[in-house]
Structure formats: C-alpha cells, structure tokens
Amino acid sequence: MRGHRDLIAWQKAMDLVTEICSCTQCFPREELYGLSNQLRRAAISVPSNLAEGYSRNSRNELHHFVGQARGSLAEVETQVEIAKNLGYVNANACEGLLSRVNEVGRLLTGLKAWSSKPSS
C-alpha cells in the first residue's frame, strides 16, 4: 500500500462526504451554522482521521484514529436521522445515506481489527 488513499475505507468515506455535502445544500438556510455544519464536519472527520492515523506509520496510532473515525461516523448516522425527523431529508435519501454509513462502518470495523494485530 502506498498511502491512505489506497484504503478502501478512506475511499468510501470520501464518497460519503461528497453525498453529505450535496444533501446538506438543500437544508434550510437557518441550518447553515447548525445541523448542516455539524453533519458536514462529522462526515469530513471520518476520512481525515483515517488519513492522519495511516500517516503515523504505526498500527497503534492507526487503531486509535480508526476509533476516532468510528465515533465521527456514529455522529453522522445520528445527524442523518435527525435531518430525516426534521423533514430535511426524505426517506429514500436517508436510507441511501445510512446504507453508505453502514458500509463505511463495516470497513472501519475490519480496519480496526487489522490494526490491533501485531505487525509481522
């Protein structure tokens, strides 16, 4: 692997950021500095933590930052549900976003398990 860009989890998290940013453009203007901003920041945090953890060149550091990414992903999931409950996201869009969140979550779980193993 050449770098964090080769991580499938990072690639899928980047796709999630793109979808979240696109989706939040339709949020009401009064949410610009509220839920919209918080959702974008949480989504951006996922691939950012993966990149930072991978660049530390230590499985222990990667393990830590994957944990941070998982926490941010849980925030994204919660905030997407809030957006749906407030009527900012329709049920189909919410389902698509949550499906992507689940996919990234599974990849992060695998990466966390791999990073906890001693290097050979």
Q: What is the CATH number of domain 4-114?
A: 1.20.1440.60
Query: What does the mean pLDDT of the chain come to?
Result: 94
Residue 111's pLDDT band, with cuts at 50, 70 and 90, is: very high
Radius of gyration of the chain (CA): 15
Q: Tell me: the pLDDT tens digits for 94-110?
A: 999 999 999 999 999 99
Residue 120's pLDDT band, with cuts at 50, 70 and 90, is: low
Mean pLDDT for the stretch of residues 5-16: 97
pLDDT at 1 over 90: no
89-92 contacts: CB < 8 A, separation 24 or more? Answer: 89/23
Q: Tell me: the pLDDT tens digits for 23-71?
A: 999 999 998 889 999 999 999 999 999 999 999 989 999 999 999 999 9
